[in-house]
Structure 1
Amino acid sequence: MNSLDFFNARLEATISPMDFVKSAKLHPEKYFLVDVRNGPSEFKKVTIKDAQMIPEQDLPNRLNDIPKDKEIIVYCWDVWCNTAAKAAKFLLENGYQVKELTGGIAAWREMNFPVSACTEGATDKDHCGC
């Protein structure tokens, strides 16, 4: 793979927080945003506004909760976490159209975009799984 192929593939597989906000305002019905973070609930006090909480480790049992007619946007903790990449790969293998939100919730919060208090907490047995 050459550099051009790499960057084309990267742009096809990801969306920045700024681009997502812009596109979701124009086409809110197009997207299904999923917080795939694993980990203890005390670390997941906020989520991106309107995101569905489906931890990556629960995806195999929750596919019926994810619509196939929307573009799925997944995110995890930050740029160092690969949980969203694992989730995206799994969803792609199962026939979904998926992109990873670059920078995760850390980038989202850094840009002061809207967040909500988490409504679906994980249990203490959960782990990051990065």
Structure 2
Amino acid sequence: MNALDYFNARLEATISPMDYLRLTQIDPDKYFLLDVRNGPLHVRSLKIKDANVIPEQELQARLSEIPKDKEIIVYCWDVWCNTAAKVAKFLLERGYMVKELTGGIAAWKEMNFPVSDSTQEVNMSDNCGC
């Protein structure tokens, strides 16, 4: 793979927090933001505002909650976390349109973009699967 192919593939598979925020302001119904972080509730207490929370270890059982007619944007902790990449691969293999949010929630918070308290979610599980 040459550099051009690499960067084309990277841009096809990822979206920056700035681009996601801008694109959802233009067409908010096009996207389904998915928080796939594993871990106990106290470390997942914040989520990106309006994100849907389905931890990676619950994904297979809750697949019906993810719409096939929207572009799925997955995120996890940070650039060092590959959980979102694993989930993206899983969903792509099942026919979903998927991109990974670059930098995860860490990049989102660094930009001071909107977050909300995820502990208010009814479906939140404290079983981290770790």
Matched letter for residue 64 of structure 2: N
Task: State, as a whole percentage, how many aligned pairs show the same letter.
Answer: 69
CA contact (8 A) 1:49 1:114 kept: yes
Q: Give the aligned partner of residue 108 of structure 1.
A: 108
Moved beyond 3 Å, runs of 4+:
none
Displacement of 1:2: 1.2
Q: Give the aligned partner of residue 79 of structure 1.
A: 79
**Secondary structure at the counterpart of residue 38 of structure 2:** coil
Q: Give the aligned partner of residue 89 of structure 2.
A: 89
Displacement of 1:67: 0.3
CA contact (8 A) 1:76 1:83 kept: yes
Displacement of 1:123: 1.6
CA contact (8 A) 1:77 1:104 kept: yes
Matched letter for residue 42 of structure 1: H
Displacement of 1:125: 4.4
CA contact (8 A) 2:32 2:67 kept: yes
CA contact (8 A) 1:39 1:122 kept: no
TM-score (norm 2): 0.94
Q: Give the aligned partner of residue 47 of structure 2.
A: 47
Q: Give the aligned partner of residue 21 of structure 1.
A: 21
Displacement of 1:126: 2.8
Displacement of 1:63: 1.0
Distance 2:128 2:25 in 1: 37
- Please give the root-mean-square deviation of Cα atoms over the aligned residues, in Å: 1.0
Unpaired stretches in structure 2, ≥5 consecutive residues: none
Count of matched residue pairs: 127
Q: Give the aligned partner of residue 126 of structure 2.
A: 123
Matched letter for residue 53 of structure 1: V
Distance 2:103 2:66 in 1: 22
**Secondary structure at the counterpart of residue 77 of structure 1:** coil
Do residues 56 (structure 1) and 56 (structure 2) align? yes
**Secondary structure at the counterpart of residue 9 of structure 2:** helix
Which digits, 9 at most, give the CA deviation of each residue in 1:37-89, with x for residues without a partner?
01111100100000000011111111100000000000000000000000000
Unpaired stretches in structure 1, ≥5 consecutive residues: none
Q: Give the aligned partner of residue 67 of structure 1.
A: 67
